Structure 1
Amino acid sequence: MSDRPSSPTPLETLQQLIDVVARLRDPQEGCPWDRAQTPQTLIPYVIEEAYEVVDALRHGDKDAIADELGDLLLQVVLQAQIAKDQGQFDIAVIAQKITEKLIRRHPHVFSDFEAQTIDEVHQNWEQIKDTENPTEAQLSHKLKRYARSLPPLMAGMKISRKAAKAGFEWKTIDGVWDKFDEELAEFKHALDYESKENQQAELGDLLFTVINLARWAGLDPAEALQGTNERFIQRLMVMEEAANRPLSEYSLDELEAFWQQAKLKIASSVSAQEKTGKR
């Protein structure tokens, strides 16, 4: 028989995390920072950790994914501990609620309901959600929830899809392009003649139309913008490596030349990597 200690079970490691967080929140022996936190003060950390999980998933680094998921799990356990300290609920209630919800919304798995395709599963899921809370079944309530709880680009796409499904849709993409031209003209007019508040409103209308164009093209605007952000930073890094003084000391023409060189260098590097990968 092996005398090596057995690895802890998932439940044992989760309980260890729960115990550590409880110790951090202990009124006498805990950490001052952890004791001072409230559900509201932790909101920025919940958002930050969720985005860091997404970034790790995009890059496919298994160690980073496990690490970032741990940070996100900490936020769940910490929120649960604060709620327990306030006599509201604990992590067992959280786990029980999501377990019951999963069973209730998967009757094709846990009962005799039949759903053969992903579309059938999704449709049944939405119907069950509507019966759980009839008020939330109203389109306006659904869209309000998206606008309140999701990042703006993601919310815009969700709202666009749901509205289109309810009949708020153009017959062809040409109609969306006409709307884009209309909103662009209104935005330009607002910039020249209207208040900052109206300018902001017209910019929002223009962006929402771009989101609709993305939906028609089967594209994800949030992913598109994320890619642009990363490419911009990558090109800037190449520019800074090539420069012999701060970029602010170069003229606009010199910066443009650096920018074009950076684009070519990155494109060449990507092309070389693709050729190497094919061999």
Structure 2
Amino acid sequence: MEEKNETLMALQELIEVVAKLRSPDGGCPWDLAQTSETLTPYVIEEAYEVVDAIKSGDKGAIAEELGDLLLQVVLQAQIASESGQFSLKEITQGISQKLIRRHPHVFGDVSVASVDEVRQNWEQIKAAEKGEASPDAQKFSAKLARYGRTLPPLTAAMKISQKAAAIGFEWENIQGVWDKFHEELGEFQQALAEETPERQQAELGDLLFAVIQLARWHDLDPSDALQGTNKRFVQRLEKMEAVVDRPLSDYSLNELETLWQQAKAQLAQEGSGE
């Protein structure tokens, strides 16, 4: 009970700190200038930093990043409450009630025999809550559109293509996927040479979607793949900076390429830059 009270007190302190930061009387000008919309990038950024911390296994980092993410929730609630939309009270009550509704096998008299059964019940209850039992909401395209709205683009593209393949909208073999990739690559190259920026953007999206299909056929995760490439790129730059005596911008392209190859080879030997 004492730990519970301390947790509630700590949460109340955070609420009060955020309210003070948003107070027109002595608050922080930056915090006062923020809106729900301007804070959206930080919600996404903090969520990714939580995931990165979890992957690192550093308990201190995990706790810190979860705190940063919690701050975004409290900030959004504070901004909404100032205009009478909703408060942290409605947020917490809403999620508690949702969890109770979607777990009738825990809070009700429903019996389940497996995790799959729990998942099926969850989806049925969720669909009923969101009015997804209507004919329009049940359309396949409507379901896929939700992935596009609510998931990061790479994740959404993979999910959409998986669902499409599950209903038979799929190539007969991997060669068909490669043919589509080369087709989209050619169209992208042509757009870059002849088309408007809007067409170039569209063709780039088509090319990326084709790459994701290749990843799906080979059971690869494009998000993890790109994250790994980002990490390796930065690691190589770190190695380059470790052996130079002035900023990298002071070196010629040929010199940078030599340093890059050395860094790549060194990381490969260490087993972290394949």
Normalised by the shorter chain, which TM-score bucket? 0.7 to 0.9
State how 1:158-177 maps to structure 2 within 5 Å: 158-177=159-178
Structure 1 residue 231 displacement after superposition: 0.2
Instruction: Name the structure 1 match of 2:231.
Output: 230
Match of 1:26, SS state, is coil
- Say which is worse superposed, 216-225 or 182-191, in terms of deviation: 182-191
CA distance in 1: counterparts of 2:113 and 2:46, whole angstroms: 35
Instruction: Name the structure 2 match of 1:63.
Output: 60
Residue identity opposite 2:270 in structure 1: S
Structure 1 residue 246 displacement after superposition: 4.2
5+ unaligned residues in a row in structure 1: which ranges?
1-5, 272-279
- Provide, for residues 72-97 of structure 1, a one-character-per-residue CA deviation record: whole Å limited to 9, x for no partner: 10111111122222122111111111
1:30 equivalenced with 2:30 (yes/no)? no
Instruction: Name the structure 2 match of 1:182.
Output: 183
- Provide, for residues 106-146 of structure 1, a one-character-per-residue CA deviation record: whole Å limited to 9, x for no partner: 33333344444444433333332222222544333333333
How many aligned positions are there?
266
Instruction: Name the structure 2 match of 1:275.
Output: none
Q: Structure 1 pair 87/52, CA: closer, same or farther in 2 (3 Å)?
A: same
Aligned-pair identity (%):
64
Q: Structure 1 pair 126/250, CA: closer, same or farther in 2 (3 Å)?
A: same
State how 1:1-279 maps to structure 2 within 5 Å: 9-132=6-129, 133-134=131-132, 135-270=136-271
Q: Structure 1 pair 122/208, CA: closer, same or farther in 2 (3 Å)?
A: farther
Q: TM-score, normalised by structure 2?
A: 0.85
Q: Give the aligned CA root-mean-square deviation in angstroms.
A: 2.5
Structure 1 residue 252 displacement after superposition: 4.1
Q: TM-score, normalised by structure 1?
A: 0.83
- Say which is worse superposed, 159-168 or 226-235, in terms of deviation: 159-168
- Say which is worse superposed, 152-161 or 91-100, in terms of deviation: 152-161
Q: Structure 1 pair 140/194, CA: closer, same or farther in 2 (3 Å)?
A: same
CA distance in 2: counterparts of 1:28 and 1:34, whole angstroms: 13
CA distance in 2: counterparts of 1:248 and 1:13, whole angstroms: 47
- Provide, for residues 33-90 of structure 1, a one-character-per-residue CA deviation record: whole Å limited to 9, x for no partner: 3333321222222222222222222222111111111111011111112222212211
CA distance in 2: counterparts of 1:218 and 1:152, whole angstroms: 18
CA distance in 2: counterparts of 1:46 and 1:223, whole angstroms: 20
- Say which is worse superposed, 159-168 or 42-51, in terms of deviation: 159-168
Structure 1 residue 18 displacement after superposition: 1.6
Q: Structure 1 pair 169/108, CA: closer, same or farther in 2 (3 Å)?
A: farther
CA distance in 1: counterparts of 2:27 and 2:233, whole angstroms: 44
Residue identity opposite 1:268 in structure 2: Q
5+ unaligned residues in a row in structure 2: which ranges?
none
